Structure 1
Amino acid sequence: MWAALVRNVDAAMITGNHSVANVEKAIVRAGTDLGWMMTKKSDKHIVGKLALRTHLAVIDITFDKNSYSIKYKDSTNLGYNGSSIHSNYNGWIQNLQKAIALQINIL
């Protein structure tokens, strides 16, 4: 298993004039399209879960109309040790970030 520093996304900027509701829709659509289970926890807060084989990744996504952040929350069978994690996790987060940007651009 290859370990890498945990990738978080801190305040990724959202361009354009979008409502919070539309940003939420874009985030949920992006995650769902990639196999994430997206659960709204409160206004401006979504928890994403990705289960692949015996692996589970859980993330917190916070957002407003100007930016969003993706933070590691929990995992199973990904070798998380407080700062490092299986390198596949970072790829999943990078793919999610790209998908969110795409969905926001087509709003």
Structure 2
Amino acid sequence: MKKAALALLTLLTLSACSTSVPIRNFDANPVPQMASGQHDLESIKTNILKACMKLGWTCRSNAEGQILGKLDIRKHQLRVDITFNEQEYSIDYKDSINLDYNGKKIHRQYINWVTNLMRNIDAELAYK
């Protein structure tokens, strides 16, 4: 009985220390409106690229309304697809290195990195 209780306690402790979370995409984030009107695609692209650069992401425009973002931190690498139009933008997982992605879960820091990028994109878009 004591061994079973100890095994259960160990299992609960290890699961509480999990370093992975369910993978998710960040779709349909509204583009903040400016007082002077709507953004055009070029200004949205420019502001997304500025937000990336400020946070140390390497981003490049692939096509109209698409940006590939890459973040390198120590031994980790994250790549995301950023798609946008005049009304909204989305950030979707593309691939990664050393983030323990298994098709369903990924390192918990993924959520923080992408959320931080979204906050900075929103700030850049709202400012202009």
TM-score for the superposition, normalised by structure 1: 0.96
Aligned residue in 1 for 2:25? 8
Q: Deviations over 1:31-83 (max 9, x none)?
A: 11000000110000000000011100000000011100000000000000112
The reply to whether residue 49 of structure 1 matches residue 70 of structure 2 is yes
Off by >4 Å, runs of 4+ in structure 1: none
Is the partner of 1:70 in helix, strand or coil? strand
- What percent identity do the matched residue pairs reach? 36
Per the alignment, residue 82 of structure 2 pairs with: 61
Question: Which blocks of at least 5 consecutive residues in structure 2 are unaligned?
Answer: 1-17
User: Looking at CA atoms only, which structure, 1 or 2, has the larger radius of gyration?
Assistant: 2
Shift of 1:14: 1.2
RMSD: 0.9
Give the alignment's TM-score, normalised by structure 2: 0.81
**Bigger fraction of residues in helix:** 2
* 1:24 pairs with 2:42: no
Structure-2 separation of matches of 1:86 and 1:37: 20
When you count strand as a share of all residues, which structure comes out higher?
1
RCO comparison, higher one (Cα < 8 Å, 6+): 1
